[in-house]
Amino acid sequence: MLGNLIISILCSLVVYWVPLASWILYTLLVYGLLRVFEIIVYQLNVLIFDPYRAQRQNKEYAIHSATRMVVLLLHNYVEIMFWYTAVILCLINIYGSEVYFSWGQFVQQNVLCIATFNSDFLETPRMSAIPALSHVVFMEIISGLIMTLISLSRFIGLLPPVAEKRGREKA
């Protein structure tokens, strides 16, 4: 798991700094998108469907720890952010566009796109010259939305119950 995160970071750095052949760029682009798809499917399965599957089979569902589960979810979230950085940089290189921003700015904007669903930076007029970019940005926003919903749906149930006050309060 840690290896995939390191590979995603290295791929984004290599694509930014090293001129690569188009077949390598296409390979990294496809692998990055497949890896994002795999992470999302895995998270859906583990966080949403495994507990229900165990319940239907009358098996006890147990996890190692809630903390470990949250750390792994956040780890996958970060990996997705770096894969999208690599994918967008691959598209820029494939279409022969000029890179106007630093690698850190691309990472920062992909984090903002996934976490806040803000695609303003990635859809500037300079970047809009890349035909497939709007589709990738849309997929990035949907990925962020799915990961956020997965996180909320799974971990809100793990919060300790809070006592409720009954009756009316005087204003």
Query: Does the residue 96 lie in any domain?
Result: yes
**CA separation for the pair 44, 55 (Å, rounded):** 16
The two three-digit tokens of residue 91, written as one number: 């598209």
**Tokens (6 digits) for 119:** 């695609």
Residue 165 lies in a domain: no
Any domain includes 54: yes
Q: Does residue 29 form part of some domain? A: yes
- Written as tens digits, the pLDDT of the chain (171 aa) is 789 999 999 999 999 999 999 999 999 999 999 999 999 999 888 888 888 888 888 888 877 877 888 888 889 999 999 999 999 999 989 988 777 789 999 999 889 888 888 878 776 766 667 778 888 888 999 999 998 888 887 777 777 777 777 766 665
The single-letter code of the amino acid at 132 is: A
Assigned token pair, 64: 């190692």
User: Distance (Å, rounded) from C-alpha 93 to C-alpha 12?
Assistant: 12
Task: Flag whether 33 is in a domain.
Answer: yes
Counted domains in the chain: 1
Range of the domain at 91: 2-18+25-155
Q: In the structure encoding, which two tokens stand for residue 74, read together?
A: 């956040």
Quick check: is 162 in a domain?
no
Nearest to 144 by CA among 170, 100, 168, 109: 109
Please give the model's pTM, rounded to 2 decimal places.
0.85
Residue 167 is assigned to a structural domain of this protein: no
User: Is 169 inside any structural domain?
Assistant: no
